[in-house]
Structure 1
Amino acid sequence: MTALTPAPGFLEAPFARRTWRAYGFLWVALLLAPFAFAYAVLTTVLTVGLTVTVVGLFVAGALVLGGRGWGGAYRRLSRRLLSVEIAEPVPRRTRRGFWRRLGGTIGDGAGWRAILYMAATFPLAIVSFVVSTVFLAVALGAMTHWVWSRFLPLQEAPDGTTHRGLSIVAGDWYWFADSPARHTLLVAAGLVLLFLWPLAQAPFVALFRLLAGALLGPTRASVRVAELERTRAGVVEDADDRLRRIERDLHDGTQARLVAVAMQLGEARDLLAAGNDADDVALAGNLVGTAHDSTKEALAELREIARGIHPPALDSGLAVALETLGARAPVPVTVDVDPVVEAGGRLAPAVESIAYYTVAELLTNVVKHADASGAYVLVQRTADGLRVRVRDDGRGGAAVVAPDGSGHRTGLAGLVDRVRAVDGTLDLSSPAGGPTVVTVLLPTQTRPATPVTRPRP
C-alpha cells in the first residue's frame, strides 16, 4: 500500500483537495455499505447452507469470486479518493479436476478477504460519515448563522422577550445569538470546528486505508509464492541456457578436437602398419605429436567447462575461489573477504555458488561494458546475511531493465532472479559517469564446518 499524495498541513487541510476527496469517499462508502454488507451476508449464509450439497457450492463459489470484483471497485475508489495505491491480489489459478476446481472457487482467499472488508466497513462507513458530516455541518452552519438566522421564526425567552437565531435555554437562563458580537463569536467557533474537521475525519479515513491495504491487497505469502514461481522459472531458464551452452561447447569444441585426434591417430597407425619407410615413420611421429597437443588442448577445454559447472576453487572455500577469480580477471581486481565469513562454518553450497557466480558475472560486465580501470570486491558477514559488494570506476549507466523504454531485461536481470531464488536481494547504484556499485545480500545458511585447506603461496 503506497500513498500517492502527501498529507496537507493543518492550515490548508480544510481547503485541500485530498480532504474533500476523502469526504467524498465517505459518501460513496455509505451508499455502497448496505449493498456490500448484504452481499457479504448472502455469500456467507449460502456457503454454510449449501455445504451439504455439491453442485450448489458452485453458486456460493461464484459469489466468493464475485468478492474479487467488489475488492477491485474498492481499490479503485481508494486510489482515486483516498490517494492510496493498493496492489491487486495474485490472480486465481484454474485448477483441474472437479473437487480441486470446487475448492479453488469456494476457498478463494482474495474473495473472502474482500467479503470480510465489506462486512467490517459497514458500521465504519455509518459512524465515519455521521461524525465527519456533523463536524462539517456544524462548522459551516455556525459560520453562516448570521445570514440564515434572520429567516428563523421568533422565539420567546423566559423573560417574555422575543429573539431570532440560535438559542440555548436552561431554566431561567437563556442565550440567543442575535447580535453582531454573538454572530462574530459563532463565526469564530465555526472556523475552529472547520479546522478541526479534517482531524476528526482523519482517523476514520486512516482506518479505511488500513483495512483496504490489509484485506484488498495480496498477502505476503501469495506474493512470496508468486515471486518464487517467477524466479524459479528464471533460474530454470538460466540453467537450461547454461546446459545448452555446455552442450554447444562440447559439440563444437572438445568433441571436434577429439575427433581430429582420433583421425590423426588412425592415420599414424596406418602409416606404421604400411612398412618401415623412414618417411612414413617420421610422418606418423608428427601425427602422434599433433594428436598429443590436441589432446592437451581438449583437456584444457574440459577443465574450463567443468569450472563453469562447479568451480574447483570453491572446494577450498569462498575466499579462495573469489581471490582466484580476481587474479584471473583482465583488469586489476582487489578482493577483500572478511575472515568472519567462514569463521562460523562454511556457507550452504547454494549460497557459496550464487555468491561466486554473481561476482564472476559482475566482473565480466566490468570488463565488457564498464570501461573501468579496476574493480573492488568486498565480502562481509553481517547480522542480515552475507553481503557481497562489487564496485568499479567505470562509466556507469548499468540497469536491470533497459532505460530506453523497451522493457528489455539486461544481463543483471538474471542475477536478480538467481539471488531472489534464495531469498536474497540485489541493489544497484550506477549513475551516469560512475561509479557502479552492486550490493548483494544473501541468507547465511551454513553447513557443518570442514577444514579449509588454502594453497601455499
Structure 2
Amino acid sequence: MTSMALNRQAVGTAEADVHVLNAPFARRTWRQYGFLWLVLLLAPFALAYGILSIALTVGTAVTVVGLFVAGAVVLGARGWGATYRGLVRATLDVDISAPAPFVVRRPGFWRALGSTIGDPAGWRAVLFMIGSFPATVAGFLASTVFLAAGLGGLTFWFWHRFLPLEQAGDGTWYRGGEFASTSLGQLLIALGGLVLLFLWPWVQWLFVALIRILAVALLSPTRASLRVAELEASRAGTVDDADARLRRIERDLHDGTQARLVAVAMQLGEAKEQLARQGDPRQAAELLDTAHTSTKEALVELRELARGIHPPALDDGLAVALATLAARAPLPVTVEVDPKVEANGRLAPAIESIAYFTIAELVTNTAKHARASGVHVLVERFGAGAAGTVSIQVHDDGRGGASVVPPDGSGLRSGLAGLAERVRSVDGTFEVSSPVGGPTLVAVTLPAQAAPRRG
C-alpha cells in the first residue's frame, strides 16, 4: 500500500468519529482550528521564502556563487516541508512520509550543482508554501467568521444590553436595532447563531482538507522516488545476499573440499614413498584406495557447490530443473509448468535462476518449518516476448504463520526477506499469504526478461 493510500486511510478513520450533533464540540474540530492558527502564523514567512527561492534562482543564475546560494535555499525548503509535515501529524493525525534524503547521484561539479538547484522535493515544498497561502488565509478567515458569528448570535441576548442606546423614529430607545431588541428578534438571532455554529466545523473542514491534500500531494515522496528507493534497497539486499553466498562458497571450499584435496595429496605422497623404497605394496594400495575414495568425495562436494551456483538441470530449461528439484525434495512436491513458459523462447538466464532458487528455497523452508504433507508449485507465463511476465505460486498445507517481517513489531526479518529482495531487484513482486494454522501461499511475479539496471 502506498504512503498516499495510508494517509487517506488515516484521514477516513479520524473523520468517522465526528457527527453533525457533536461536530462543534469534537476534539478534532478544535484541533483543526488550532492547525489553522499555526499555519496562518507560518504562512507569511513561508510565502516570502517561496518567492525568495524563485527570485534567487532566476536572478542569480548568471553567477556561480548565486547558483550555490539558490541551491542552498531550495534545499532549505525541505526543512519547511518537514515543519508542515510535523504540524499535520501532530494536529490532524495524518502521517505524511518524508521524501528520500538529498543525494548527489551524478558526479561532477556542474551536475552536482544542477542536482542541488533542481531538487524535486525542495521545489515541491516551495510550491506548497506558495499554493497553500491563499487556502490558509481564506480558511482561517472563514472559520473565524463562522465561529465568531455563531457564538455571537447564541449569546446576543446577553451582551446586547451593553450596546449603545439608539432612538427610533417614534422616540423609543433600543439597543442593537429595533428588531433585535424584541424577544422574537433575539430568539431568531440565537437560532441563526446556532445554525452558524453547527456549520462552522464543516466549512472549516473544507479548507483544512484542501491544505491537507496539498500537503500529501506535494510534501510526500513521489511514486517514482519511492520506486527508486525500493530498487536501491532491493539491490543492496541482493548485493549482500550475493556476498554472503560467495563467502559461504569460499568457506565450504576452504573447510571441506580444499582440506580433502590436501589429504589426498598427502596420501598420494605417502604411497609414492612406499613404492620408491619398495615398501609394503599392500599399504601403498590402501593409501591409493583411500586417496581414490577421497577424490570421489571431493568431486561430489564440488558438484554440490556448482549446483548451488548454477544447477546443471537449468541448462535444459526451467521445467526440467524443477522436475529434478521435486525428485530430490525431502517431501512430496507436485510441479506444474505451463508449456507457454518456454514455448515462446527461454526466459532470461537471470530470471530462470531467480525462479529456480526461489522455488528451491521455499520448498526447503516448507520441509524444515511448515510440517506440511506436500507442496504444489505452479508456474505460468502471461504475455509474449520481453513484455510478458512469469507467475509462480508455491502452496503448502502446513501450519502457516510465515511472513517476511514478523507481525510482533520486533522488526526482525525472516528468511523470506532475502527472497523478496532478490525478486524485487528485477522489478518482480513477492507476496505471502500464511495465516496461523495454514495453508501458506507464496505468489511471485517476475518479468520474462531482466529489467535494465538503473543508474
Normalising by the smaller structure, the TM-score range is 0.7 to 0.9
CA displacement 1:137-160 (0-9 Å, x = unmatched): 222222222222333334556777
The Cα shift of 1:248 comes to 2.2
2:62 corresponds to: 52
Residue in 2 aligned with 1:204? Answer: 207
* Bigger share in helix: 2
1:346–1:446 Cα contact (<8 Å) kept: no
Residue 35 (structure 1) aligns with: 45
The aligned counterpart of 2:216 is 213
TM-score (norm 2): 0.84
Partner SS state of residue 103, structure 1: helix
Report the CA distance between 1:269 and its aligned residue: 5.1
More deviation, 356-365/141-150: 141-150
Q: Between 293-302 and 116-125, report the one with greater CA deviation.
A: 293-302
Cα offsets for 1:213-232 (capped at 9, x unmatched): 12212222222222222221
Q: Which amino acid aligns with 1:111?
A: G
Query: What corresponds to 1:191 in structure 2?
Result: 194
- Supply the RMSD in Å over aligned alpha carbons: 3.1
User: Is the CA contact (8 Å cut-off) linking 1:429 and 1:437 kept in structure 2?
Assistant: yes
Please name the residue that 2:133 is paired with.
122
Aligned twin of 2:332: 332
Confirm whether residue 6 of structure 1 aligns to residue 14 of structure 2.
yes
Alignment map for 1:91-106 (pairs within 5 Å): 91-93=101-103, 98-106=109-117
Q: What does 1:168-247 align with in structure 2 at a 5 Å threshold?
A: 176-247=179-250
Kindly state the Cα deviation for residue 35 of structure 1 after the two structures are TM-superposed: 1.1
Provide the rounded CA distance (Å) in 2 between the counterparts of 1:36 and 1:52.
26
1:411 aligns with 2:415: yes
Structure 1: unaligned runs, 5 residues or longer: 168-175, 448-457
1:263 shift after superposition:
4.2
Q: Deviations along 1:101-154, whole A, 9 cap, x unmatched?
A: 533433333222212211111122112222222222222222222222333334
- The alpha-carbon distance between structure 1 residues 253 and 94, as it changes in their structure 2 partners (threshold 3 A), is same
Deviations 1:168-200 (A, max 9, x none): xxxxxxxx2343334333333333333332332
SS at match of 2:335: strand
- The aligned amino acid for 2:31 is R
Looking at structure 1, the residues matched to 381 and 185 of structure 2 have their Cα atoms a distance apart, in angstroms, of: 72
Contact 1:61-1:106 at 8 Å conserved across structures: yes
1:287 Cα offset (Å): 4.4
- Partner Cα distance (2:349, 2:58) in 1: 50
Aligned letter for 1:48?
V
Query: 1:362 is paired with a residue of what secondary structure?
Result: helix
> What secondary structure is seen at the aligned counterpart in 2 of 1:93?
coil
> Equivalent residue of 2:376, what SS?
strand
Q: What corresponds to 2:373 in structure 1? A: 373
Q: Which residue of 2 aligns with 1:420?
A: 424
Is the partner of 1:6 in helix, strand or coil?
Answer: helix
* Cα distance between partner residues in 1 of 2:337 and 2:322: 8
How far off is 1:386 after superposition? 3.2
Query: Which stretch shows the higher mean deviation, 95-104 or 29-38?
Result: 95-104
Q: Which amino acid aligns with 1:357?
A: F
Post-superposition offset of 1:262: 4.1
Counterpart Cα distance in 2 of 1:436 and 1:36: 52
Q: Which deviates further from its counterpart, 352-361 or 432-441?
A: 432-441
Contact between 1:140 and 1:194, CA under 8 Å: does it hold in 2? yes
Q: Which residue of 2 is the match for residue 82 of structure 1?
A: 92
Between the two proteins, the alignment pairs up a number of residues equal to 436
The answer to whether structure 1 residue 70 and structure 2 residue 73 are counterparts is: no
CA distance in 2, matches of 1:295, 1:232: 39
Q: Which amino acid aligns with 2:259?
A: A
Report 1:211-360 matches (<5 A).
Answer: 211-268=214-271, 280=281, 283-360=283-360
Stretch moving more, 149-158 or 294-303:
149-158
Deviates more, 1:187-196 or 1:350-359: 187-196
* Contact 2:426 2:450 survives alignment (8 Å): no
- Between 1:74-83 and 1:103-112, the stretch displaced more is 103-112
Query: Alignment partner of 1:22: what SS?
Result: helix
Q: Take 1:20 and 1:442, find their aligned partners in 2: how far apart are those partners?
A: 50
Q: Can you list the C-alpha shifts for 1:50-100, whole angstroms capped at 9, x where unaligned?
A: 222222333323222221111111111111122211111211236876545
For residues 347 and 177 of structure 2, the distance between their equivalents in structure 1, rounded to whole angstroms, comes to: 79
1:440 corresponds in structure 2 to 444
Distance 1:99 1:262 in 2: 61
Contact 1:18 1:83 in 2 (8 A): no
Q: Percent identity?
A: 66
Consecutive unaligned residues of structure 2, counting only runs of 5 or more, are: none
Closer/same/farther in 2, CA of residues 233 and 161 from structure 1, 3 Å limit: same
Q: Is the 8 A contact 2:151 2:197 kept in 1?
A: yes
Cα distance in 2 between the residues matched to 1:64 and 1:351: 42
